[in-house]
Structure 1
Amino acid sequence: MLTIGQLAAFAGVTVRAVRHYHQVGLLPEPERDASGYRRYGARAAVSLIKIRTLAHAGVPLSRIGEMLEADPAAFATAVEGIDNQLRAEIDRLELSRKQIAQLPDIETLALPPEVISYLDLLREIGASEGIVEGERDGWILVAARWPHLIGPVMAAKRAQLEDPRLVRLYRLLSELLADGTADEPRLVEVADILAALAEDAYDAGELTLPEMARDEVAVSLLDAMPLEADPRAARLLELLRERGWTGWTNLERLPGSDERS
């Protein structure tokens, strides 16, 4: 007769595994002998080896009990079903491997090529990596929510970079991010540029795409990004409001603000 440790060693499993098989009802738990120990015989060893063999083959523990009691035909049917499940899992894992291998680096993860190209343009006009990083995260949200709009939106954004005011805006924001100070003159200049750009877009009917403006959840997430990233964004919103504009992603003219800032 074997102790639980001797049984586990003979069958090539751990004592913890034997106890777990007891708990789930796969291996009967013997009564304790007069010395207070549980003793296992040959039948327990045979059962444990069968359980170990099936478990190592990939059979779920929930299926092992029925397979141990099955006749040859039922056992073969169960094996075929489990084999089909394993094949499906292998196919899923192979697909995952292919998808993992095709993932870009972390800097461009979840971004379409049009956005990556635009971010490179921002670097070329002098935007800092901190500003580019903030833009990148914002475009991840946009691309996830409106993938069909990325093409036309990016074309418009690239065209806007021809405007020297926008170039100046990105450089100012980069300077502010770099020095970390609440530089009021530069914040005022940023607000002036944003208000002027908003005014031009408003006059041209290009302020915000209706489909984007109606999506309150996405807009709220995009609006939260600058506020979460930099407390000075709140002051910038105040300055924009003084110039007749409210909002961030979905910029809107305040009632009664009809004159150009």
Structure 2
Amino acid sequence: MLTIGQLAAYAGVTVRTVRHYHQIGLLPEPERDESGYRRYGAKAVVSLIKIRTLANAGVPLSRIGLMLEADAATFAEAVQKIDDHLRGEIERLETSRKQIAQLAAGDSLAVPPEVTFYLDRLRELGVSEQIVKGEVDGWILVAARWPDRIREIIDEKLDELGRNPQTVRLYRLLSELIESDLADDERLDERLEERLEEVADIMVDLAEQADASGGNDFGDMAHDELPFDLVESLALENDPRVRRLLDMVRERGWTGWVRPERLRKPPD
């Protein structure tokens, strides 16, 4: 006959674990003998080893008691259910591991590979890391809303980078602006004002080109205003100079950044 310490050691668990199994009714607790100690026989050892084996396999303690009492068919069915559950957990954990691995990559967190490729292309063109970081956050918003449209959108963006030097110039000017310091009291100095004027001119020029070619037509996405508003709001939150830039764009007859729209002239 074994003491609780000997039982625990034989089965490869702790005394605390044995007492916990007693408390939840998983392992029967023997009566004390004449000397006041609880003694465990061979059946208790076998039961504890079975419990330990099932617990180590991932079976919830709440289900082990029923499994130990089940017939062969019921036991096999229960094992299959547990296996299915564990398979799902493994898939979830594998997904989590991939997401954790993406943390090291930085850009790829919460954005698809197509976006990462686009961001790398921006870096090749000399776009600053601050602008790229802003792009990452913007693409997180877009990808969350239209995950099935990302490849299409990125293909269009890459095509625009390749054929339109104005787009590249815009990114480079924005890089210069975002890396410059704000003047005292956030007032823009003369050089900064000139840069903003040039950015506004390019933005309007690109909007007019897109409008002439039908490129400002976002299809069914145009009816979903929230993502556009969020991306534009993100830019405003990141840099107060964006407000001045959008005012300049409005002065030129357009409104918006992500989805530029021509302002209607007031009736005479």
Q: Which residue type is aligned with residue 233 of structure 1? A: V
Partner Cα separation in structure 2 for residue 124 and residue 51 of structure 1 = 59
| CA shift in 2, pair 1:149/1:179, >3 Å | same
| CA shift in 2, pair 1:205/1:50, >3 Å | closer
Q: What is the CA distance between 1:148 and its match in structure 2?
A: 4.8
Aligned length: 251
Question: Which residue of structure 1 aligns with residue 175 of structure 2?
Answer: 174
Q: Which residue type is aligned with residue 176 of structure 1? A: L
Q: Which residue type is aligned with residue 48 of structure 2? A: L
Partner Cα separation in structure 1 for residue 53 and residue 234 of structure 2 = 54
Partner Cα separation in structure 2 for residue 19 and residue 79 of structure 1 = 26
Provide, for residues 225-260 of structure 1, a one-character-per-residue CA deviation record: whole Å limited to 9, x for no partner: 3234333333333333333333332222334379xx
8 Å CA contact 2:3–2:40 kept in 1: the answer is no
| CA shift in 2, pair 1:152/1:61, >3 Å | closer
Partner Cα separation in structure 1 for residue 32 and residue 196 of structure 2 = 80
TM-score by length of 2: 0.70
Decide which of 163, 182, 186 is 2:195's aligned counterpart: 186
Partner Cα separation in structure 1 for residue 40 and residue 158 of structure 2 = 79
TM-score by length of 1: 0.72
| CA shift in 2, pair 1:233/1:30, >3 Å | farther
Question: Which residue of structure 2 aligns with residue 54 of structure 1?
Answer: 54
| CA shift in 2, pair 1:94/1:108, >3 Å | closer
Structure 1 position 79 matched with structure 2 position 80: no
8 Å CA contact 2:67–2:78 kept in 1: the answer is no
Partner Cα separation in structure 1 for residue 94 and residue 31 of structure 2 = 49
**Mean CA deviation greater in 39-48 or 51-60:** 39-48
8 Å CA contact 2:204–2:252 kept in 1: the answer is yes
Q: Give the gaps of 5 or more residues in structure 2.
A: 183-187
Q: What is the CA distance between 1:29 and its match in structure 2?
A: 5.0
Partner Cα separation in structure 2 for residue 220 and residue 201 of structure 1 = 20
8 Å CA contact 1:172–1:190 kept in 2: the answer is yes
Question: Which residue of structure 2 aligns with residue 227 of structure 1?
Answer: 236
Percent identity, please.
Answer: 54
